[in-house]
Structure 1
């Protein structure tokens, strides 16, 4: 017990003394997480994580590995999150940690995001690419994506299966290769097939499912073994209600779990592939929301034991042993959503991630033999439950009668009456907000603002009709849903109508700018972080990417109409101050969107400020960029709707 608890103090961060719920430093909210990607070795004796560091010489993140038995710590990798950003950590075996990273690049004049997979070997104390340099002599080109692991071979811990392009006569499509974690050499297991962009293996590690896409058309193929005859299982169009997506296999190689719509909502089914009718057997549904997520498979029991539903981070188990374990955790940690995100191979040791509306995230190490559970790391060390504001679910009707679910966060210990307010639509837009911890909303509430986050039509999680009602609807009813939320707050007496600002990032930035353009008298200011400002340019610039027709199906292809539904076309209507923030190496929404919007507003003598983040990406992955963004936002809000 002492050994584990010492891990908190040395390797991670100490739990601070309870802080009064006064205004906290900006970096308490805006900094990257103190700890992330905490992962357990297969034998349960080592813990790896990504740790934020900030010193006079280093500002970024480092990989930390702690040996629980020896109390030894090593820190073999660091990044400033500009040259590359670490996306995930996983253990390939008890000796090797796999590190997935991304970095911005340009291919033939097209901005891209490249990914790579590195490995760190504890026994060799060496970090390198999983692929040897000699391996790429077999490739026709250097692949953009070099990080897609599709199978860990538990009976062969020295190899993994990956999918990668660049090989064979169909080099632009994905092959499956067996990669040696010792030599970096590869052995091709599945040859690339035209238009198949993803492969799925069964529990016996055979390549069984191929996912085909040609423009907006999808097909799901099955084969008995790699390079076998492909059998068509299902075909459908993007955004169709009859879509059936494979999730993975049970131990039985004929039982495939799939995600499909049931009574208008996504649910989990299993299909026996020997059944000529491919009958779907319902496994799990939620009567109110879509069910999405990943299968939870027990290697020890050799069966699927549940699913990670992705609803508030909840796991659903249908195996009694794990139901008991999960119930025990919920009794010990009753106010949180507790996710068993990893088990050792013998399933006696495990990691739990606990989060919730006012729980910013705590990692626990559990030992089932000892019946003990220890906190080992705090995701945001300064953001304890005592300083956070609890959001609550609210509902309002849009002007056409559609019910909208939203989440209201108000300043702690403050009456929810006539408050300065942030309208905060999410990005995506096929995404959703919930009562889960949100560092943006908590920051605003800590500064004295009420925050409304609404799941406008087009958001995910509410079924097929709700999601598809957002297709080609940017700036129309989707925008009305956001505006109607602002009016509802005013009607309820929660918001001071003279101190209301609309803020958003990505699609949310688009909605913020459209809000002040379409309803110039409703808001007192707008903030767009990496926001879309020109839909016509967005569609035209997608031509160089292979998902361009899906983008058109989602947003539209009538250029005149798209331009009219763009903030840049309505700049003259904007009467309030605007803050634009954008990274120069944003590969999702190009920096041109904010640059051109700034030029347009400035040319019209509008009140606008533009903050450009040098080498910044779409996700504020660099700590300095995130701090700069929050500092600028705080100043801007204080100036225009500041707390009295």
Structure 2
């Protein structure tokens, strides 16, 4: 069994390779940093899922950097079968329909969003490769090549991420309906459609209103529907006894409220679990009484410093535990056997987060472990419950050597008004005089850190902005920068989610103001700690992070010596009005009901929006800048960047400009990621690097 993947997955690095670092003597020069492609190439191995009975492993893999294909391994016989592959497409999302059948959609990793021709489609196939069927259209020559039957659903149907019961041949797909004929028009509602993967037969679920979201119960049946009408979100329950929908809650969709909650999942016993703050600062995991319409007074899981974010883990008939995110991901097991199993795996892999995926109807001794750390990219490992042995499956970044990566920690900084601001700090590891060439265990070798002081630093600002920026895990952006000798600081400024209601609401209408102060205060903390050289600090970010980069250069010109903005907002007013060349993917409902409170009202806050516009303040930016935009971006159109570039030209000669015409809101193609980060490396070296 230990070598069953080697013939096919030869590009996947196993334990010994993943944990080996090249040796060099004390007299030798330090090794060159890893190539850019090691961080930003598409992975050969990218996902694996056990069948419901645990007897088979499905995985997505690209051999010799060709198309991603779907592979199934019989864990009893080690037989490997490529069950789906295309010459002009890549297998994308996939899931088990049942123990014999899989469903998957497709993508094309060779083109950017601006050149996309095909829709994802949807396909089903047996685990032995037989009975292939297309369920949802794509387009053009692709259909002809594969001889697809005519009775397939139109292309605007998409696979539901929820697993369902996995005990029939049926799956659910969503069918978004939009305003007008434009596929990018405002979303009106989302239909839920049941599809038989053998016959293609369909059945559309009756909606209680303008549906935006659906939740299946543990038996795989639709049970919750979330509707949106203007700014009112309502939660509906499909009563199994009456077969009728009834409303169980409603609240403001964008601003929330004391009674607001998010349906999470149904347990095997029918209990509905929800996320709610119940008027307190932190979101917690509660149960919801469907009979009384009340949220439980006491939470099942509550975290002191974080909003609860996670999912239930269940077998066929039992709630086994809950997975959640604090600084890192972890699992609370209610089942005693699972507690013991987690302890055994953690003892064998003590330096990593080890997430155990359990088959729903286990008939074999296998579980799948996803293992990672701040220095170790995610790798998948099979664990045999009977033998206690590990069998590596693959790593998502097989060429990365953990021993040469930097350590990441979460620090907490006090802002000027007293608010606590979490921030992620990644500091380059001191180069040791020698690194072992072999590691006796599956644990990444600890490299002596030494004291790293007075470093050049990049302040990396996350986008959103109303999202959580990071977690304790391997990150290609920060690790790449650290590999080039830069400390990296990533503040979770006010307005970021995941750290409580107070932290989130403190960021309302604070673009360019207190949100910006938090970033500056975090930067000054790093200087005070001796980590950052005050003369060599650059601010960088994408989307909102790009906006914050520009405002950082405006507000704190003595603090930041340069800036890197990719796909960044350059004027808040343009978020509302600057989409003349594209249909915005920001909904008009959000711009009408959410953005005026969260960001600013075009009329009531006009003076503030002018005072916090990088476009209008461009004359104050004299520091060197790297600007990059996507030609097909519908979130922050190229217009943002072009207008800002025009405003800079007259007084700032130190501006590097690049447009990736086929890209959207970020870089989807490896060639563009590698090109962009190569430009970043050269730009930083010129501005704040060490000769």
Whether TM exceeds 0.5 here: the answer is: yes
Bigger share in strand: 1
Show CA shifts across 1:149-201 (max 9, x none): 55534331x1113332459xxx953333220111222123x223332222223
- In structure 2, relative to structure 1, the CA distance for the partners of 1:47 and 1:586 (3 Å cut) is farther
* 1:641 is aligned to 2:688: yes
- In structure 2, relative to structure 1, the CA distance for the partners of 1:113 and 1:643 (3 Å cut) is farther
Partner in structure 2 of residue 494 of structure 1: 531
Alpha-carbon distance in 2 for matches of 1:148, 1:315: 24
Q: Give the superposition deviation at 1:525.
A: 0.9
* 1:324 is aligned to 2:340: yes
Alpha-carbon distance in 2 for matches of 1:120, 1:582: 39
- Give the 5 Å matches for 1:290-309: 290-299=307-316, 302-309=317-324
- In structure 2, relative to structure 1, the CA distance for the partners of 1:279 and 1:314 (3 Å cut) is closer
Preserved CA contact (<8 Å) 2:286 2:301: yes
Show CA shifts across 1:523-552 (max 9, x none): 111111222222111123457645433344
- In structure 2, relative to structure 1, the CA distance for the partners of 1:47 and 1:124 (3 Å cut) is closer
- In structure 2, relative to structure 1, the CA distance for the partners of 1:623 and 1:118 (3 Å cut) is farther
Show CA shifts across 1:417-439 (max 9, x none): 21111111222222132332111
Q: Which has the higher contact order (CA 8 A, sep 6+)?
A: 2
Alpha-carbon distance in 1 for matches of 2:250, 2:396: 42
- In structure 2, relative to structure 1, the CA distance for the partners of 1:198 and 1:437 (3 Å cut) is same
Preserved CA contact (<8 Å) 2:409 2:426: yes
Q: Give the superposition deviation at 1:135.
A: 5.0
Show CA shifts across 1:111-159 (max 9, x none): 999654333444455765423775568xxxx564522355534331x11
* 1:503 is aligned to 2:514: no
* 1:232 is aligned to 2:243: no
3-state secondary structure, aligned to 1:444 = helix
Q: Give the superposition deviation at 1:86.
A: 6.0
Which of 429, 440, 451 does residue 415 from structure 1 map onto?
A: 451
Which of 583, 587, 594 does residue 630 from structure 2 map onto?
A: 583
Question: What is the CA RMSD across the aligned residues, in angstroms?
Answer: 3.2
Preserved CA contact (<8 Å) 2:629 2:641: yes
- Give the 5 Å matches for 1:81-92: 88-92=93-97
- Give the 5 Å matches for 1:384-395: 384-395=401-412
Partner in structure 2 of residue 548 of structure 1: 591
Alpha-carbon distance in 1 for matches of 2:242, 2:589: 25
- Give the 5 Å matches for 1:337-486: 337-343=353-359, 345-346=361-362, 348-413=365-430, 415-429=451-465, 430-486=467-523
Unpaired runs of 5+ in structure 2? 24-29, 138-148, 179-186, 431-449
Show CA shifts across 1:425-467 (max 9, x none): 2222221323321111111111011111111111122111111
- In structure 2, relative to structure 1, the CA distance for the partners of 1:606 and 1:199 (3 Å cut) is same
- In structure 2, relative to structure 1, the CA distance for the partners of 1:8 and 1:456 (3 Å cut) is farther
3-state secondary structure, aligned to 1:480 = helix
Which of 127, 149, 163 does residue 174 from structure 2 map onto?
A: 163
Partner in structure 1 of residue 101 of structure 2: 96
Which of 136, 159, 177 does residue 131 from structure 1 map onto?
A: 136
* 1:208 is aligned to 2:200: no
* 1:50 is aligned to 2:94: no
Which of 98, 117, 124 does residue 119 from structure 1 map onto?
A: 124
- In structure 2, relative to structure 1, the CA distance for the partners of 1:43 and 1:465 (3 Å cut) is same
The alignment's TM-score, normalised by the length of structure 1, stands at 0.88
Partner in structure 1 of residue 142 of structure 2: none
Q: Give the superposition deviation at 1:321.
A: 1.8
Q: Give the superposition deviation at 1:344.
A: 5.8
- In structure 2, relative to structure 1, the CA distance for the partners of 1:91 and 1:382 (3 Å cut) is same
Preserved CA contact (<8 Å) 1:271 1:280: no
Alpha-carbon distance in 2 for matches of 1:308, 1:71: 32
Alpha-carbon distance in 2 for matches of 1:548, 1:136: 36
Unpaired runs of 5+ in structure 1? none
